[in-house]
A and B are shown apart, each in its own frame.
Chain A
Amino acid sequence: MADHIEIGRLLRSETTGFVFGCKLDQIDSPSFGALVRVRMDDHYQIFGLIYDIQVQDDGLVRQLITSDTLANEAWLDTRGNRTVPVEIGVLALGYMLDGQVSHLLPPRPPLSLDEIFLCTPAEIAAFTGAGRMGYLRHVLRDQDKPVEELLAAHLKQARDVQSAAGNPAWFEAALEEVIALLKDDYPTLMRVLGAVDELELARDRQSELNGRLG
């Protein structure tokens, strides 16, 4: 069912995040900055943000790149059949317990082989629209991650969803929260806003293009 796109299963986890694996041919679904969820049971789901996608190599992949003419079928085989490890890192943002969204870290992390799903627009709207966007602090915490790109990617996804859900003011509120969280860190904040500005510019260019087309 298109509403519930499974994108992989959990490899390992800790309180602040988890890593799941997926097959190479599933890799079209998860994208950097996408909101995902792990359904633990009927009452409890964990939400997170994809911050890293790693396609690992192995001996055969390394060998195949030496081929002058890589057969199309071998390429498909590697993508579709082989267990070339694709590891996707997820930052834990919060959870939903009995329908109540919390932006605190989940009380316990997901377990091995738990299924990971892409969040539907309704789930994104519910999670990002709850409370006062406290989950953004989890994104900003780890400066080792590409925070600005991650935020920009997430804000784009959430902005589109919230706008479609009739809540265009969400984006501005989120930016205000980001600024509030980062204003003590001038260099990071300016980098984040620079990345967000790319979104704005892209949208402006898109609407300009749409206008010209018609």
Chain B
Amino acid sequence: MPVNLVEIQKSLSSFADQAKTHFEQEAIYLRELEQVLTSYADPLDQIRSVVGREVDTNARLRCAVPTDEAINTAIPVGQLPERVALLAADGSQINPSRHARVPFCVINIGAVEMLRGSGQMPKVYQESQLLDYDRTTLPDTGLISEGRVALARDLAERQKLADWSAELPQPAIAMIDGPLELYRDVQQATEFERIAWQFQAVLEQFRRNNVFLLGYVDKPGSDLLVSLLEVIARQDKAFQSSFPKDRPVRVVDTALFKDILTAPGDRSAVFSVSSPTSGKFGNDQQVHFFFMNVGSEDFQHLARVEVPAWVAGDKANIALIQAALWDQTRIMGTKPYPYLLHRSHEVAVVSLDEHRRVEEMIVSEFLRHHIPVGSPSQKQAVKDLMQDGGK
């Protein structure tokens, strides 16, 4: 038996007790935060100056910054225009493995375009790239790391999204799953810098083409607003005592918006982000975000939507995005998630079968050129056996 259930059983009672305490603390802390939110919903200039001051003393501060809407605002969803062009992209990859017979890496990007209101069949884009052998096998680390592959994939995904959306009729929205910003592998600082500049060019491309880029975060675990409220509370004597420097428990933003975005389709105020990197791509590309209730009367479901500043600058753009996402999530019925994002994932994803087939293609090509081909590692061989046997 791989897990000693008896020992786990012994700890269960204490584990549940801890959880209970945690939830109780969370509830208490949330109530405190809500009081701060109620007090500081409107004075936006004051809040911004508090944040400014805090940044001066804390260079690593990461929190939301209100724009021109009250923090506790809920804005209902509007009518989708007759026509809107939508494009969603997703990427997936085959990571190189030292257990495989040959080292290789594939990045696969899929995208689906829908001219909503046109009655036309959506268009599917797909591109697969076999990473160069030289980029896959590196002199210092051996195989390229999964983090670097993920970074390359994210960039490729955004690049392709920009390329394929260039010709979309206006208004046009391009979307990806997850935050807009690239995942940062701290070990690859130099590489990240290079890619970050490429990404900026991509962002510019969207802007040039007037395509509204958005990142859709389905189950956001962020605490940017919570952090903002903590900063505000700590400088107000009325709240200070309840907000020590080290928070007693972590509460996420969605907990705060739960009682604000009560109607299906509602969106929150648009926030910008104050962070050490937020100014990197220039003010126009700074990430802004809002929350949105994409659920139903019976079932609230909050998502965070990220957009560049130039998009967020016009509330009409936000309204369009809100309506488009509302429409997209309606298509999926009881599981509100943008239809096109699901479809682009479906197009992009590499199945195990395809993985094997690509490997076979490479192996036979190697054999044709008398290039030595290794055997799978014993570990992989045993895994394969178990998989086959388990079928």
* Residue positions of A touching B, CB distance < 8 A: 60, 63-74, 76-77, 79-82
Contacts and interface: CB of A to CB of B under 8 A. Distances in A.
Given A73-B114, A77-B114, A81-B112, A67 B122 contact: no
Contact of B333 (A66, A76, A82): A66
Contact of B339 (A74, A79, A80, A81): A74
Interface of B: 112, 114-116, 118-124, 327, 330-335, 339, 342-343, 346
B331 A71 contact: yes
Contact of A73 (B118, B124, B342, B346): B118
Given A71-B339, A82-B346, A77 B121 contact: yes
B327 A67 contact: no
18 contacts: A60-B342, A60-B346, A63-B332, A63-B334, A66-B332, A67-B333, A68-B333, A69-B331, A71-B327, A71-B339, A72-B119, A73-B118, A73-B119, A76-B119, A76-B120, A77-B114, A77-B121, A81-B122
A103 to B, nearest CB: 37
B332 A80 contact: no
Contact of B331 (A74, A79, A81): A74
B122 A77 contact: yes
A73 B121 contact: yes
Contacts of A63: 332-335
A73 B120 contact: yes
B121 A64 contact: no
Nearest to B119: A72
Interface of chain B, main secondary structure: mixed
Contacts, number: 62
A81 B333 contact: no
A74 B329 CA distance: 12
Given A60-B346, A64-B332, A68-B333, A81 B124 contact: yes
A77 B343 contact: yes
B172 to A, nearest CB: 15
Contacts of B331: 64, 67, 69-71, 74
A101 B116 CA distance: 52
A71 B338 CA distance: 12
Given A73-B116, A73-B122, 5 more contacts: A60-B342, A60-B343, A71-B331, A80-B121, A81-B121
Given A73-B116, A81-B124, A65 B333 contact: yes
B184 to A, nearest CB: 32
> Chain A CB within 10 Å — which of B115, B119, B331 has the most?
B331
A43 to B, nearest CB: 29
Contacts of A64: 331-333
Nearest to A72: B119
B312 to A, nearest CB: 26
> Chain A CB within 10 Å — which of B118, B122, B334, B335 has the most?
B122
Nearest to A80: B121
